[in-house]
Structure 1
Amino acid sequence: MTEPNAAIELRNVEVRFETTTLRFDCTIAAGGIVAVAGASGSGKSTLFHLIAGFEDADHGEIRVLGQNAANQAPSERPVSMIFQDNNLFAHLDVATNVGLGIDPALRLTDEDRKRIEDALRRVGLEGFGRRLPPTLSGGERQRVALARALVRHRPLLLLDEPFAALDPGMRTGMRTLLGELHAEENNTILMITHHPEDVKALADSVLFLDQGRIIAHDTLDRFLERRDNAAIDRFLGNA
């Protein structure tokens, strides 16, 4: 039975690799910003790929907004995912890259083009439609990727280290923008990060992974108070 107000449910999910098995079991409520943290190789990206449909579980059940996602292709799921490298096409201008979020075949109407302009305005890139990605800064490219996710209007947004390539000033600006857009969209955001500052600035709750297991699923306050796990202590910089 689906839990009320659940955006994502992972029920005894297993992914088996040659030398290890990852196991995920949790329920994520709708409407919040969830930081997903843990050391490299702990299973964070695999978790996202399972939710988005880019990878299949070997065992267990994944439910997205109450629906069993087993037979849903990535394009059929109510999920947008922004990758660390933006996944922008260098030879296509900014407006066209954003338009791919509406229709991969780029059969765009006048109303669609207005949506693209509005999304670029919302992320602070008004007038950038004709620019090519290689002419943009790292922060600007991330904003294009975010605009592309916005035009899709999916209720779940997965961000895989969205600020990794940004300097501290750009990180602060992107965190502010993401918080503002979340307040407007009222969507559910999961964000992989290796930086406690991102967690403290944006998250309502935290999923912490270690060696392919979810070892903590806490509110932000509870997570920041934890002193009972060495991996979490290392992440938070606790003595």
Structure 2
Amino acid sequence: MAFLEIVGVRKSFGATVAVEHFDLTVERGEFVSFLGPSGCGKTTTLRMVAGFEKPTTGRIIIDGVDVTDMPPNRRNIGMVFQSYALFPNMTVAENIGFGLKIARRPADEIRARVEELLRIMHMPEFGRRYPYQLSGGQQQRVALARALAIHPKVLLLDEPLSALDAKIRASLRQEIREIQRQLGITTIYVTHDQEEAMALSDRIVVMSRGRVEQIGTPFEVYNFPATRFVASFVGTLNLIQATVVDAALGLLSIEGRPIRVARPLVQHRPGDAISLAIRPELIALDGQMNGEVNRLSGIVEDVTFLGSIVRVQVHLSANKLHLDLFNNPQLRPPQPGSSITVQFAPEACLVLGEDGSPHHSMSASATQAA
């Protein structure tokens, strides 16, 4: 039996539907992220789990207990907000122990728990400081410790890192994951940052316009998107217009040039216009790949240095595509204005139908090899 169950949940505000038919089961100790753009319903769903919003229809069950109509203070939920929400007139230790104090736990128990969490947060010497004496990252660690102090059944985090700079955000998300694994606490994490969701999660729930688009592991969501929205929202994606030449053989034409995908196009006929999706990292410069490959030629429009990756933008006749090359100081990347030929395997292609659903050409083994 799942530890957390969200069953047929729907939430509307008047005529506006914020969440539509949300179903999810979460195992004990699992880390699940809600990922999607602003307004997709992810925070509303989190607030329903916390008890701050009541579902219009549906049920929420935690550890076998239906908590749908239960107030937040009886759900034993720990919640961390984007804004830290620390009490400015309390020390770090007092902030962390606040929930236990409200629960009228013994002073010795509170002191021991606060000291334990300060050690876990790598802040044993910060107990007597006040929030204004801390950096943003340190304040968020205190907020996390306060949420964990009450031994919650479920930990909820609502975009807790979005106010921090990139380097601190990357460091703190790793700490959050390590602490979550150490404590074995069931965690729901809300974010609009796809990299954050993929780095942290056991599974990701991708949402759009109040609906669940896909639930899967980071590997599944990135490599095998279930809808066009997921394919375009998660990761960088090239969308190229193509025409079906021979559906049974998986033959396409892009601007008059033949392209083959790995599987028959069973839902299409010759002459159909389709969108072909290819990840930038699955495209290489001509001559870098072995076996059967597709080739396209064009002019380099732009080269962007991204540290370990160099992203090259290539202009075809009516399409543009990006390819990602590993940075190598010994090799000069293609220069803007130069002619270039790129190649990619048939297995790298994802054919998007008119309804927006992908017809996969990639296999798991091919993706892993890439």
Which TM-score applies when normalising by structure 2?
A: 0.61
Tell whether the 8 Å contact from 1:100 to 1:106 is kept in structure 2 after alignment. no
| Structure 1: stretches of 5+ with no match in the other structure | none
Give, in whole Å, the separation in 1 of the partners of 2:237 and 2:193: 14
Give, in whole Å, the separation in 1 of the partners of 2:226 and 2:70: 39
Which residue, out of 172, 187, 190, partners 2:188?
190
Larger Rg: 2
Which residue, out of 207, 210, 213, partners 1:212?
210
C-alpha displacement of 1:218: 0.9
- The answer for the alignment partner of 2:12 in structure 1 is 16
Tell whether the 8 Å contact from 2:49 to 2:60 is kept in structure 1 after alignment. yes
Aligned partner letter, 1:16: S
1:109-168 deviations in whole A, cap 9, x for unaligned?
122112101111110111111111122111000000111122111121111111111112
* Superposition pairs of residues 169-180 of structure 1, within 5 angstroms: 169-180=167-178
Report the count of equivalent residues.
235
C-alpha displacement of 1:37: 0.5
- The answer for the alignment partner of 1:35 in structure 2 is 33
Aligned partner letter, 1:62: I
- The answer for the alignment partner of 2:340 in structure 1 is none
Partner of 2:214, secondary structure, is strand
Partner of 2:125, secondary structure, is coil
- The answer for the alignment partner of 1:48 in structure 2 is 46
1:17-36 deviations in whole A, cap 9, x for unaligned?
13322221222222211111
Give, in whole Å, the separation in 2 of the partners of 1:231 and 1:166: 28
* Superposition pairs of residues 54-203 of structure 1, within 5 angstroms: 54-104=52-102, 108-203=106-201
Tell whether the 8 Å contact from 2:34 to 2:206 is kept in structure 1 after alignment. yes
Give, in whole Å, the separation in 2 of the partners of 1:166 and 1:76: 31
Q: Percent identity?
A: 36
Tell whether the 8 Å contact from 1:99 to 1:108 is kept in structure 2 after alignment. no
Aligned partner letter, 1:238: L
- The answer for the alignment partner of 1:238 in structure 2 is 237
RMSD (Å), alpha carbons:
1.7
Give, in whole Å, the separation in 1 of the partners of 2:103 and 2:189: 28
Give, in whole Å, the separation in 2 of the partners of 1:91 and 1:64: 34
| Structure 2: stretches of 5+ with no match in the other structure | 239-370
Give, in whole Å, the separation in 1 of the partners of 2:188 and 2:173: 13
Name the one with the larger helix percent: 1
C-alpha displacement of 1:182: 1.4
C-alpha displacement of 1:180: 1.5
Partner of 2:48, secondary structure, is helix
Which TM-score applies when normalising by structure 1?
A: 0.92
Partner of 1:84, secondary structure, is coil
- The answer for the alignment partner of 2:317 in structure 1 is none
